[in-house]
Amino acid sequence: MATISTAPATTRSQAAWRPRRLLVTRSGFDFAHGRGIVARAEAQGVEVVALAGDRLALGLPDDPRRAYAEAKSTLAVVVAPPSKRRLQPIAPSADWRVDLAEGCPAHCSYCYLAGSLKGPPITRVYANLDEILDGLPAYLGQGSITSRSEARAHEGTTFEASCYTDPLGLEAITGSLSAAIAWFGRWEAAAQLRFTTKFADVGPLLGLDHQKRTRMRASINPTMFARFEGGTAQVAERLAALRAMALAGYPIGLTIAPIIAAQGWKEAYGRLLVDAAAALADVPDLDCTVELITHRFTAGSKAVLDSWYPGSALDMGPANRVIKRTKFGTEKQVYDAPTMRSLRDFFEAGIAAAIPSARILY
Ligand code: SF4
């Protein structure tokens, strides 16, 4: 049985991410949150570049490898326009998607952002966080995803903050996630903020007055796949962080994703469930959900990922795969029915045995 420290606080071995440079659009300075990010960056010794206007002039090198590296180490402070502040439903996770930022500094060979964000992979954080949050009450009670689900309606109107970014990965430099959690804590309504993360530095979140209106999920995979998750925290650190959040009274969850049916998967995921159960042992009033997301990709995301991570050992071949048409008319490669069934049976039984009180959402 794996052992995990029962100490309530968590630390991480890897230093929090710091961009190589911070680009700030002219309008980014108009907002207190934008100016706060600049102050944090300066205090951390990050080069701050004030742009003359609101267009992001990146000046990336022609060489694709260097352009990728430079983009990934750049953070831009921009203003979310009204069109980006109009929320979209985000099935099956939440009623609404709320973006605090777009992009992520980590280097996962299967990153789902490759299929959803266009252009160079720089991270943009929104300076007008207050405007974004102040727009949320208009959506209260309007949800059609979790609010309409008999099993999940008790969560209230749900807002997912990890669709286009990993908000915890940016927290040390932006403070956006802490601000959003505190805002939901003050919002006396049947509503919940949700985020999932492959990072672990939850120290700034532990003392916030969250009022249980934020659910953190740790996105985890067996250590045999750690080589596909460059720049993230180790899985043991993510689980220790999740334990610390649960002890601080937050509802929590496991996002097991992306589930990869490679040789030895049963043993590897079996060990992962044992580790997760050990991390959550003896947490009083544990409120834990589980999301199971199998590995999938589109032709477009595969092309982007092949260019970002040439030579990656991640299997994106045709074996055990079928094409599934999405409701948006696009096609994605998913595991075939026998593989999906065997994964489902394994996880349902494994989670019931390891963490009996956990609820599988999907
Ligand atoms: Fe993408 Fe998540 Fe990895 Fe960031 S941590 S690169 S968002 S998969």
pLDDT at 288 over 70: yes
Q: Residue 97: beta bridge partners? A: 88, 160
Average of per-residue pLDDT values in the chain: 94
pLDDT beyond 50 at 159: yes
Residue range 89-111, pLDDT digits in tens = 999 999 999 999 999 999 999 99
Determine if ligand 1 sits within 6 Å of the CB of residue 239.
no
Q: What is the DSSP string of 157-195?
A: EEEE--SSB-GGGGHHHH-HHHHHHHHHHH--SSEEEEE
Name 25's Cβ contacts closer than 8 Å, sequence gap at least 6: 51, 53, 54, 55, 56, 76, 77, 78, 79, 127
Q: What is the pLDDT of residues 208-223, one digit of tens each?
A: 999 999 999 999 999 9
How many residues are listed for the chain in this entry?
362
**What's the pLDDT at 14?**
62
Confidence of residue 3 (pLDDT cuts 50, 70, 90): very low
Whose C-alpha lies nearest to ligand 1, atom 1? 111
∠ Cα 206 211 212 (to 5°): 80
Q: Which CATH architecture describes the domain 21-360?
A: Alpha-Beta Horseshoe (3.80)
Closest CA to 195 of 186, 184, 187: 184
> Is any atom of ligand 1 closer than 6 Å to the C-beta of 113?
yes
Distance in Å, CA 114 to ligand 1 centroid: 10
Residue 327: predicted pLDDT:
77
Give the separation between CA 192 and CA 312, rounded to whole angstroms.
37
Q: Using a 6 Å cutoff on CB, does residue 166 contact ligand 1? A: yes
CA-to-CA separations, 189 to 34, 97, 119, 182, in angstroms, rounded = 27, 18, 38, 13
- Greatest pairwise CA separation for the chain in angstroms: 58
Q: Reduce the DSSP state of residue 147 to 3 states and report it.
A: coil
pLDDT tens by residue, 44-72: 999 999 999 999 978 899 998 899 999 99
Give the tens place of pLDDT for each residue, 9-29: 344 446 789 999 999 999 999
DSSP strand E in 81-140: where? 88-90, 94-97, 101-102, 107-108, 123-126
DSSP 8-state code for residue 269: H
How far apart CA 173 and CA 175 sit, in angstroms, is: 6
Nearest C-alpha to atom 8 of ligand 1 is from which residue? 111
pTM of the predicted structure, to 2 decimals = 0.94
Residue range 283-306: mean pLDDT, rounded: 95
Question: Is residue 288 in contact with ligand 1, taking CB distance under 6 Å?
Answer: no
Query: What residues have CB less than 8 Å from 222, skipping those under 6 apart?
Result: 235, 265, 268, 269, 271, 272
* Nearest CA, atom 3, ligand 1: 108
